[in-house]
Amino acid sequence: MITRGSFANVVFLPAAAFVTALLFLATTARAQNAPVDLTTTCGGQSCFNAAGLYSTGTTFIGTFGMDGGGDGCSLSTACSDAYSSDQLGLSSATPPALTPPSLNVPFIFGPVNTQPCSPTVACIPDMVRLPATPMTISLPSGQQTVYSTLIMLGTAVQGSHTGTVTVNYTDSTADVFTQTFSDWCGFSGNKYESVAVSQNPAGKSMNRINSDGTLNGAGCNLYAYSYPVNFNKTVASIALANTDGTQYTYVLAITLKPPTYTIEGGVANPTTVPAGTTSTATITLTPQPGYIGTVQLSCNISPNIVTSSAATAPTCTLNPTSVDVTADETSPPTTMLTFTASKPSKAVLERQTSNFYAFWLVPGLALSGLGFGSRSSLRKRLFGLLLPGILLAGVLVTPSCVTYKHLGNVGTPPGQYTLSVTGVDQKGLSQASNPPGTSNAVVVTVTD
């Protein structure tokens, strides 16, 4: 019988903390973004001029919705379509919000129609129908700053249509983007365009809502339109217009992304260490175009070992603990991450033996030796007395049960450890999600 003693406690002690650490790593760090409030930014008035968001079950017969449709549709029929807020996965908050997983950027939407509307009961406008004359969306003074990207959520109906998106700067200059908008049920992959939402929260194809409140079988999308913004200038306003003489292009939400940064973990050197030694890795902070600031860095280790009399948690340090990104940066700033596996302290093995049952065996055998019948020869009697003595000698040199247990502290338990490095700048801006193929984590294995 061989047992591991107190070492088993070292392995299972931090199990709950390990789960917590995994949840921490799974949480994606997001930059501070600036959703545009379209209810107040058009000359102090709402920019919304069309209704197109309805909760499933809400009727809007006779309004033509977003897509009045052809094919013999009339005001009295239920063949016009719009977006279902439930199919989009909009939150129930006021205003409703959505962060498409493909973008990791939050957007705020206009109010959702949850009550029936008709030609006699006005629907609530909640999206922008692009007009022929540019509509100017002015940013409030608090949002007039440097940005790196403008992202719109929108679509065209009844086929693809064209328009312009203009970013106006405070120095009276502008960037103009010519855009082709895909039909909401037929993605064309136009320049600047990607699919933001294509599935409902259940993971099935996103369906439109009919004007009688039911869903139809068409699989449709909500698109994202991403434009690079001049990070050397301050954004003042945005202007939207259609350029093909139609009114079939819509914008539902706009968010501006400021320049931020990513943190890349690199490879540990060495990747495997015994307890009591260290490993290092070079951590690189890569700024996005236009980012300037000081980033305070911190590190975290999972699984989270709880220091006790049986084990000691490993540690991680960063040198320096903060880095500066300046306007004339020629190369990304770095910092050195050091992982230290704690060494054992008085970790010895105690051997415990037990001959209890063996000693009871000897008298029993002796008695059995004396128990040969009275007619046995003297030789047999002597052998019966000698046999227990031989067995006793064997018992003394061969214990029947041996137990090993650890005494003292085993240091950092062997296993794989993941070190994640995170940052936040002086304005509270956290790092952006890492590009595909990179990570802000470093992996080190501690051997026994």
Contacts of 169 (CB under 8 A, 6+ apart): 175, 230, 233, 234, 235, 236
The DSSP call for residue 419 is E
The confidence score (pLDDT) of residue 359 equals: 46
- Specify the higher pLDDT residue, 31 or 239: 239
The confidence score (pLDDT) of residue 349 equals: 52
Mean pLDDT, to the nearest integer, of 251-271?
94
Closest CA to 31 of 96, 105, 94, 93: 105
Tokens of 325: 């990104």
96 pLDDT tier (thresholds 50, 70, 90): very high
The confidence score (pLDDT) of residue 439 equals: 94
Looking at the chain, the whole-number percentage of residues with pLDDT higher than 70 is 77
Q: How far is Cα 425 from Cα 261, in angstroms, rounded to an integer? A: 10
User: Residue 5 CB: number of other CB atoms within 10 A?
Assistant: 16
User: Cα–Cα distances in Å, from 362 out to 31, 166, 351, 389, 393?
Assistant: 78, 100, 24, 8, 10
Q: How far is Cα 415 from Cα 62, in angstroms, rounded to an integer? A: 66
Contacts of 89 (CB under 8 A, 6+ apart): 98, 197, 200, 201
Q: How far is Cα 439 from Cα 436, in angstroms, rounded to an integer? A: 8
The confidence score (pLDDT) of residue 9 equals: 42
260 pLDDT tier (thresholds 50, 70, 90): confident
Contact 10, 412 (CB under 8 A): no
Instruction: Return the residue matching tokens 């090993």.
Output: 404
Q: How far is Cα 40 from Cα 37, in angstroms, rounded to an integer? A: 6
Which tens digit of pLDDT belongs to each residue from 343-383? 998 645 555 555 544 444 444 444 444 444 554 555 555 55
73 pLDDT tier (thresholds 50, 70, 90): low
- The structure's pTM equals 0.64
3-state DSSP assignment of residue 341: coil
pLDDT at 448 exceeding the cut of 50: yes
Angle between the N-to-C axes of helices 356-370 and 378-397, in degrees from 0 to 180, rounded to the nearest 10? 180
The confidence score (pLDDT) of residue 296 equals: 96
H runs (alpha helix) in 32-109? 85-88
Mean pLDDT of the chain: 83
pLDDT at 393 exceeding the cut of 80: no
pLDDT at 53 exceeding the cut of 60: yes
21 pLDDT tier (thresholds 50, 70, 90): very low
CATH architecture of 7-28+261-347+409-447: Sandwich (2.60)
Contact 138, 47 (CB under 8 A): no
Mean pLDDT, to the nearest integer, of 385-403?
50
Mean pLDDT, to the nearest integer, of 77-85?
83
pLDDT at 74 exceeding the cut of 80: no
Strongest mean pLDDT among 70-74, 217-221, 416-420: 416-420
Contact 161, 230 (CB under 8 A): no
Which tens digit of pLDDT belongs to each residue from 422-432? 999 887 778 88
Residues in the chain: 448
